[in-house]
Chains A and B, each alone.
Chain A
Amino acid sequence: EIVLTQSPATLSLSPGERATLSCRASQSVSSSLAWYQHKPGQAPRLLIYDVSNRATGIPARFSGSGSGTDFTLTISSLEPEDFAVYYCQQRSNWPPITFGQGTRLEIK
């Protein structure tokens, strides 16, 4: 099973700042990585798939990069609605499909 490790566990930033979230895989997942946003009481939302493709309706301030085992989600300038928990997910050589443990992005 491929384990995804996200860092940091919590990120405290202010609106307008740049956010950089990391996801590291225990073995190469090639480009088989996605990012989701999850707010309390809401359904998770797909942000990025195949490392860098934005899902429909996702603003351009969200971008993804990386390959192999190291991946990054960048939010270029934080909006108030961006404060949430973010998960990476891999589907390389599944099952199982696995998620990282999440990064909580909180308002500083």
Chain B
Amino acid sequence: QVQLVESGGSVVQAGGSLRLSCAASGFNFNTYFMYWVRQAPGKGLEWVTFIQGDGETQYYADSVKGRFTISRDNSKKMMYLQMNSLRPEDTAVYYCTKGLSAYGSAWSTWFDPWGQGTQVTVSP
């Protein structure tokens, strides 16, 4: 079955860097859009970033643009989120998720399934 497993979350000081990983299995990874979504403490869900199946196109939320970089290694079925210049407001659980359907179809922008998340805490 489809599985997404995040790792790499940690406690880091403001201004520091962290790299999150997402290991995918159970589906044809290189044909799916992939995303990171986060949830800050006591807050709702916030879309962070997107990467196309071939890795050629990425989009970012304004809140992370210029600081975060999404990438993927299709040969390893892995997705990454490089987070630089971290701020306390980046503190959140970060979820890895994939598009509902493959090949950039209209359903590719619905998120299904999601991983269990990894906690990132940025201290002041």
Contact = CB atoms under 8 A, between A and B. Distances in A.
Interface of A: 32, 34, 36, 38, 42-46, 49-50, 55, 85, 87, 89, 91, 94-102
B62 interface: yes
B103 interface: no
A91 B104 CA distance: 13
A99 B47 CA distance: 8
Nearest to A47: B112
B111 A44 contact: yes
B86 to A, nearest CB: 20
Contacts of A101: 44
B63 to A, nearest CB: 9
Interface in B102-121: 106-107, 109-117
A85 B97 CA distance: 18
9 contacts: A38-B45, A46-B112, A50-B106, A87-B45, A89-B111, A95-B47, A96-B59, A99-B44, A99-B47
Contacts of A42: 116
Interface in B25-65: 35, 37, 44-47, 50, 59-62
Q: Among the interface residues B47, B61, B110, which one has the most CB atoms of the partner chain A within 10 A?
A: B110
Chain B: interface size category = 20 to 34
A68 B79 CA distance: 34
Contacts of B115: 43
Contact of B45 (A32, A50, A99): A99
A51 B117 CA distance: 26
Given A43-B117, A46-B113, A100-B44, 18 more contacts: A34-B111, A36-B45, A36-B111, A43-B115, A44-B95, A45-B112, A46-B100, A46-B110, A46-B112, A49-B100, A89-B111, A95-B60, A95-B61, A96-B61, A97-B47, A97-B50, A99-B45, A99-B47
Contacts of B35: 97
Contacts of A100: 44
10 smallest A-B Cβ distances: which pairs?
A91-B109, A43-B114, A46-B112, A95-B59, A97-B47, A49-B110, A99-B45, A102-B44, A101-B44, A34-B110
